[in-house]
Amino acid sequence: MRLRPINLLLKSPKPHHSSATLRHLSAEPQNPPPLSEEPRNTTKPIPQIVSVLQTTNPDDWPTNTHLHHHLLLLSSPPSFLKIARQLGSSQKSLQFFNYLKNNPPPPNSSPTSPPPPPQVISNLSFVFQAVFEHALREEGPESSPSKLLELFNFSKEQNVPLSVNSATLLIKFFARAKMFQESVAVFSKLDPDLRNVHVVNLLLDSMLKSGRIDDALKVLDEMLESEFNVQPNQSTMDTVLSAVLTRNWSGRNVREEEIIGIVSRFGEHDVFPNSVWLTQLISKFCRSGKCDKAWELLHEVMRLRGEVKAAPCNALLTGLGKERDFQRMNLLMNEMKEKDISPDVKTFGILINHLCKCRRVDEALEMFKKLRGGNESDAVSVEPDVVLCNTLIDGLCKVGRQEEGLELMGKMKSEHGCAPNTATYNSIIDGFCKAGEVERAFELFDMMNKDGVEPNVITLNILLDGMCRHGRVGSSLEFFNDMQGKGLKGNAITYSVLITAFCGANNIDKAMKLFDQMLQSGCSSDAVVYYSLISGLTQAGRLDDASFVVSKLKKAGFCLDIVCYNVLIGGYCRRNKFEQAYEIFKDMEHAGLKPDRVTYNTFISYFCEKGDFKTTHRVLKKMMEDGFLPNVVTYGAMIRAYCMAGNIDEAMKIFRDMNSSSKVSPNNIIYNILIDTLCKNDKIEVALTLMDDMKDKGVRPNTTTYNAMLKGLQARNWLEKAFKLMDEMTEKACNPDYITMEILTGWLSAVGQTEKLRSFVQGYEVSFSVS
DNA sequence: CTAGGGTTAG
């Protein structure tokens, strides 16, 4: 439910007093001056009055001339506040309030005339403020807010305007009690001329916390209008930004454009988000894929000359790095230089990380060297830290330069003053694992244990993955058990590695057992573990089991992603179960996922395989309507289908089409199927032309290409051409397989060319022994 | 800063 829009700052309902009265009231100080500044001649009566009020019966006050006399000596509302405060309780101060209300002391200078003169109303406001203060203290911030609410209502009935401090106190109190409507009501009751930035900030906070973003933005809007006299301050900005950033209430999202607008308008009041807020905003924008907006925000702050430090720039650089926007990264770095924003170690970390992720490791190394000065003019003095070193080491390992990574790790302590940590070792261990050097990886594992660097679950997962990918699936489980014995628990990734490995090793039952073990161990699972098992089961053709796991996945609250749907659709298609494939497809659309190019290609391949060209073209049309142009896979499936159907002309037509109209370059799979079919249809010359065309286009013929071609040449007994191709194979290090050998042994021995065959095989002896 | 699944033509 939304309250009516309120023009809170400019106009407010003034139900109890004529506006003239209130205007008059505004002469009262917004904050009462400290009590020590009380005019000297009034200090004397205060203790007297307090003493009388404390020791006599309130019923007797109206007739107490002594009291009356002293009250006449008071000159300012704050004196009344001071007295009421000293009365010590809300009850007593409320009695004082009633007394004053019913027995207003005559004003010091002006002639008496009803209605009550402003001075009197002001006195009452201040006395009531003390009532609120006492009540708040008596009630405590934790207990039920009913008493303050009653008092607030009473003050309204009594037509006592709120002092600014009363309003502050009440708004804060109600907001803390989550009574946001009451907070707003208090604000509405406060005379607009009394409203200061502090009160408005409290109101904003209340509105934002109750999810009334639009009302809050409206208030903010009015505040940012220059004609209004309450100017926003740093605290206003903090209030708004903290609400925008920690969106944990029911309010709507605030769009990036709105935030930029707000920041920009604050900037015109010379108020800027501090470095932390700005950094968080930029990170948030970048994370939601709005790097453009992050860029705009930072530059808006720069344009308005707000102070920008390295941290927000770093956040933007990170985002730009993820988008691979190298150009703007450079641009920002130059701007930082221009604006004298000195980059820190994180800035360089981001840049080096980005270079590494783009596999431009040498440039990363270059930048790393410049860090510690040297003699170069563009050197910077930033000390690399562990993270920076790790980034670089990981970059080296990822491109297979783990030996250099190891070297750098050795220098870390001596040259850079930072000791390798678990992440350092993990990167290098992973480097060796990926290179198949699992032994070396374990040597490093021993080394880290000796160095007192604790392995973690990532170390475990890296080693398990390394073992599994290099023929040690069985012992990987032993290692896992070992580590569990040492207190290292596996996580979802551990199980996903193992499940994939066991599925790949055709040990589906073990994979299923591991999955159950994971669920029982209470380790937090994620969708990927399910995907791994589903994919493994589908690959093994166990689609019933796969769909059972799908149901478990859904029960666990996860969703299938498009890839997983494609896996299942492909699985059913491959097993000729179109009905079920289509079921899955409908389920996918029901879940709100759109088919992608792979989904379409899967169906196209299915109908191609059936030789159903009519349906194939229907799906193709639908695919293009959905905005997906056919790609090399689409063409491949169709070319193959026409080849299989014996329609080589149509296959060649599609092949020419993809070159000319679609600009999709064929790959060796497409060339191979065409060459093979042409040869089988006795069109050796065309096949040879196609093979030349292939080489011209830079597509490498592989063993399958040569096999197809050699078979065709064999049919024509074109020995010379065959010898040429054999030499080419050797030259290009294209290994013959058993099919090559079958063709050649049959053909060449029959025509007495065993010598040529012998020398051909000799050229591969080395590589044969390796494989 | 470090770890996992994955689709469609052969």
Structural domains of chain A ordered from first start: 1-109+116-248 (1.25.40), 456-558 (1.25.40.10)
pLDDT value of position A25: 36
pLDDT band per the 50, 70, 90 thresholds, residue A20:
very low
pLDDT at A47 over 90: no
pLDDT at A117 over 80: no
Per-residue model confidence as pLDDT tens digits over A752-770:
999 988 888 887 765 554 4
Cβ A191 to strand B below 7 Å: no
Q: What percent of chain A has pLDDT over 70?
A: 89
Q: What percent of chain A has pLDDT over 90?
A: 65
Cβ A311 to strand B below 7 Å: no
Instruction: Round to a whole number and report the distance in Å from the CA of A350 to the C1' of B1.
Output: 10
In the 451-480 segment of chain A, residues within 7 Å (Cβ) of strand B are 456-459, 461-462, 465
CB < 8 Å & 24+ apart, contacts of A390-394: A390/A421, A390/A423, A390/A424, A390/A427, A391/A349, A391/A352, A391/A353, A391/A356, A392/A352, A392/A356, A392/A364, A392/A365, A392/A368, A393/A424, A393/A427, A393/A428, A394/A356, A394/A427
Cβ A526 to strand B below 7 Å: yes
pLDDT at A375 over 70: no
Q: What is the CA radius of gyration of chain A?
A: 40
pLDDT band per the 50, 70, 90 thresholds, residue A115:
low
pLDDT band per the 50, 70, 90 thresholds, residue A740:
very high
Name the least confident of A243-247, A274-278, A552-556: A243-247
Give the span between the Cα atoms of A253 and A247, in whole angstroms. 8
A692, burial (CB in 10 Å: exposed 0-12, middle 13-18, buried 19+) = exposed
pLDDT value of position A366: 92
pLDDT at A5 over 50: no
Give the span between the Cα atoms of A284 and A656, in whole angstroms. 48
Mean pLDDT of chain A: 88
A532: nearest Cα among A522, A520, A540, A524 = A540
pLDDT at A313 over 60: yes
Name the least confident of A60-74, A80-94, A398-412, A459-473: A60-74
B/e letters for A117-140, b = 16+ CB within 10 Å, e = fewer, are bbbbbbbbbbbbbbbbbbbbeebe
Answer yes or no: are the C-beta atoms of A737 and A745 closer than 8 Å: no
pLDDT at A109 over 60: no
Which nucleotide is at minimal CA–C1' distance from A530? B5
Per-residue model confidence as pLDDT tens digits over A246-282:
765 567 888 899 999 999 999 989 999 999 999 999 9
In the 646-705 segment of chain A, residues within 7 Å (Cβ) of strand B are 667, 669-670, 673
| CA distances from residue A156 to A130, A150, A164 in whole angstroms, order as listed | 16, 10, 15
Q: Which residue is nearest to nucleotide B10 (CA to C1')?
A: A669
A738, burial (CB in 10 Å: exposed 0-12, middle 13-18, buried 19+) = exposed
pLDDT value of position A376: 57
In the 545-604 segment of chain A, residues within 7 Å (Cβ) of strand B are 561-564, 566-567, 570, 574, 596-599, 601-602
pLDDT at A663 over 90: no
pLDDT value of position A121: 81
pLDDT value of position A212: 85
Higher-pLDDT residue of A741 and A38 is A741
Which nucleotide is at minimal CA–C1' distance from A525? B4
pLDDT at A698 over 50: yes
Name the least confident of A109-113, A468-472, A514-518, A630-634: A109-113
Answer yes or no: are the C-beta atoms of A491 and A526 closer than 8 Å: no
Instruction: Round to a whole number and report the distance in Å from the CA of A521 to the C1' of B5.
Output: 21
Got the DSSP string for A576-610?
A: T-HHHHHHHHHHHHHTTPPP-HHHHHHHHHHHHHH
Which nucleotide is at minimal CA–C1' distance from A604? B8
- Mean per-residue pLDDT, A377-396: 87
- Mean per-residue pLDDT, A65-82: 83
Instruction: Round to a whole number and report the distance in Å from the CA of A554 to the C1' of B1.
Output: 34
pLDDT value of position A16: 41
- Mean per-residue pLDDT, A720-744: 92
Instruction: Round to a whole number and report the distance in Å from the CA of A580 to the C1' of B9.
Output: 22
Which nucleotide is at minimal CA–C1' distance from A388? B1
Write out which nucleotides of chain B lie closer than 7 A to a protein Cβ.
1-10
pLDDT value of position A250: 62
Which nucleotide is at minimal CA–C1' distance from A573? B8
